[in-house]
């Protein structure tokens, strides 16, 4: 079973490959020759995930799934939300995004936050959505060398370490992306879809 994961993010690809069962062959955008940046112009995570999946399906005629993830911080009225990946500007990287978030939280006591991931799967003429979330808090400083993005400042509920301090196998049991992807895999297994 071959399935395209519409991402250029190698860290995401690595995380998801660790979850994929043997009978599913995950194909990257690089594998299909898609090097362009796929626009994310929707105003919801679901919309952006669908835009990316549709782009691959429409341009490459392949079954595909795409995800979009947002970090929602209570004290910042849900920021960065859909702008999570470009919070400090369109060309900014993870360090700049983390720095801006920590600065915006300097005078805030409530550091509650949650990650939310939506996956859009285009398969056999249908689009299906799968969601996963992870509750936690934003730490006051970066900790850990694993993961990517906001992982060094996100401590999941019930844990005393950030996502970046946890081994990938542990993170993959509780992360927003892992939860959404587990639902996707369960669907593919249940339907015995032949891709």
- What would the two tokens of residue 173 be? 């049991």
Burial status of residue 74 (CB atoms within 10 A of its CB: 0-12, 13-18, 19 or more)? middle
Structure tokens belonging to residue 133? 């979330």
Q: Give Cα 87 distance to the centre of its chain.
A: 15
Contact call for residues 145 and 153 (beta carbons, < 8 A): no
Active site residue: 31, 68, 107, 151, which one?
A: 68
In sequence order, the 6+-apart residues with CB closer than 8 A to the CB of 134 are 114, 115, 154, 156, 157, 174, 175, 176, 179
Give CA–CA dist 54/176, Å, rounded.
22
d(CA 93, CA 87): 9
**Residue 30: both structure tokens together:** 């690089």
Q: Select from 97, 99, 65 the least CA-distant residue to 81.
A: 97
Q: Is 68 a catalytic residue?
A: yes
- How many helices and strands in the chain, by DSSP H and E? 5, 7
Active site residues: 68
């Amino acid at each position: 079973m071959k399935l395209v994961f519409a991402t250029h993010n190698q860290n995401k690809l690595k995380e998801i490959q660790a979850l994929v069962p043997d009978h599913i062959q995950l194909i990257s955008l690089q594998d299909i020759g898609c090097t362009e940046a796929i626009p994310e112009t929707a105003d919801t995570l679901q919309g952006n995930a669908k835009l990316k999946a549709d782009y691959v399906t429409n341009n490459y005629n392949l079954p595909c799934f795409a995800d979009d993830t947002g970090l929602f911080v209570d004290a910042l009225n849900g920021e960065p939300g859909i702008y999570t990946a470009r919070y400090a500007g369109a060309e900014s990287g993870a360090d700049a995004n983390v720095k801006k978030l920590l600065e915006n939280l300097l005078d805030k006591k409530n550091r509650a936050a949650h990650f939310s991931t939506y996956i859009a799967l285009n398969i056999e003429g249908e689009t299906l959505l799968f969601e996963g979330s992870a509750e936690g808090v934003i730490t006051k400083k970066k900790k850990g060398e694993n993961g990517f993005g906001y992982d060094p400042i996100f401590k999941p509920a019930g844990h005393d370490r950030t996502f970046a301090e946890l081994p990938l196998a542990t993170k993959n049991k509780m992360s927003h992306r892992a939860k959404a992807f587990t639902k996707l895999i369960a669907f593919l297994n249940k339907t015995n879809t032949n891709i």
